[in-house]
Amino acid sequence: MNKLVIFLLIASLLSALGGAAAFYCNSEVLDVSEKACNNTESKHLASPQDNCNETRNNSSLIETEIVNITSGSKVYPAYTAVPAEEGNYPAIVLIHSFRGFEPGYQTMVDRMAEDGYFVIAPFWQTHSEAPSDAEVEALIRNSTAYLETRDEVDPEKLGLTGFCAGGRYTMLFLPQMDEFESGVAWYGFPYMGGTETQPGIPANMTDQLDAPMLIIHGTRDQYSNITDIYRYASELDAADKYFELKVYQGELHGFMLTEDGELSESFVAQDAYEEMITFFDRTLNNSSP
């Protein structure tokens, strides 16, 4: 009889522990989903999260939202921010780095909206960490098509900006997409390409470039050597293409974000951000650079 009582007590205890473990696991899953909605781990999204598609007010100045962009047969989430005040704003497509849509990019998008821009940042790694150039080009084109459906956007004032891999995409696609009036390429790769999935080499597109471009780079970029940037700038100059080059002495690759993915508040990062905004103000809101 005593053995039976002990057995029943142990069984009850194990059942309680199992329920607690199940609750803990479910809490972890919910936490991950919440992080995905808040874009802190959006690089790992396998599919769009429908419960993220709601308008949020990060401040009284802007409205933010996760939208779905259909490109080909796939759907990509994209983070958007727009000034809260009713208006018709210039718009920017922002292409994040190879490390994904880190928190610092969300902060930057919000700040750009506060400065008077409708910004969309598609999660281009949603279905593959390294999609083909053709897939990314289609996604950028479909993102601009989405912008043109928004009443808050002036479709005649569209800009493109990108960081790291996104910098390469800016150099590669700005010459090929007439929709954009100007672009800002951050620590990009002008001579990367020539492969099956990445056939295009940005420097080979120089003759097609008609939109003004700002190039931002650090002299100690360990992945995209500054000598390549000077060479690319020389080729743009020889082709009589309008560009501006801002070089920060001593800065490494990816200097706009900290090691933990937050937006840097260093002097250089703040200055570089202002360079971008000033460039877009001149090229999108005025008739000349």
Residue range 42-54: mean pLDDT, rounded: 36
What is d(CA 111, CA 265) in angstroms, rounded to the nearest whole number? 13
Band the pLDDT of 258: cuts 50, 70, 90: very high
Q: What is the pLDDT of residues 81-137, one digit of tens each?
A: 999 999 999 999 999 999 999 999 999 999 999 999 999 999 999 999 999 999 999
Q: What is the pLDDT of residues 152-196, one digit of tens each?
A: 999 999 999 999 999 999 999 999 999 999 999 999 999 999 999
Fill in the amino acid letter for 171: M
Alpha-carbon torsion (213, 245, 171, 249), positive or negative? negative
Q: Is the pLDDT of residue 145 over 80?
A: yes
Question: Encoding tokens for residue 87?
Answer: 């208006």
Residue range 245-268: mean pLDDT, rounded: 98
The pLDDT, as a whole number, for residue 285 is: 85
What is d(CA 184, CA 119) in angstroms, rounded to the nearest whole number? 14
pTM tops 0.85, yes or no? no
Strands of the sheet with 153-163, listed across from one edge: 55-59, 62-71, 74-83, 118-122, 89-95, 153-163, 182-186, 213-218, 243-248
The SS3 assignment for 257 reads strand
Alpha-carbon torsion (101, 272, 57, 143), positive or negative? negative
Q: Is the pLDDT of residue 3 over 50?
A: no
Q: Is the pLDDT of residue 263 over 50?
A: yes
The SS3 assignment for 210 reads coil
Determine the CATH number of domain 48-285.
3.40.50.1820
Fill in the amino acid letter for 217: H
The pLDDT, as a whole number, for residue 24 is: 27
Mean pLDDT computed over every residue of the chain:
85
Q: Is the pLDDT of residue 223 over 90?
A: yes
Band the pLDDT of 60: cuts 50, 70, 90: confident
Residue 163 · residue 171 · CB < 8 Å: no
Residue range 250-269: mean pLDDT, rounded: 98
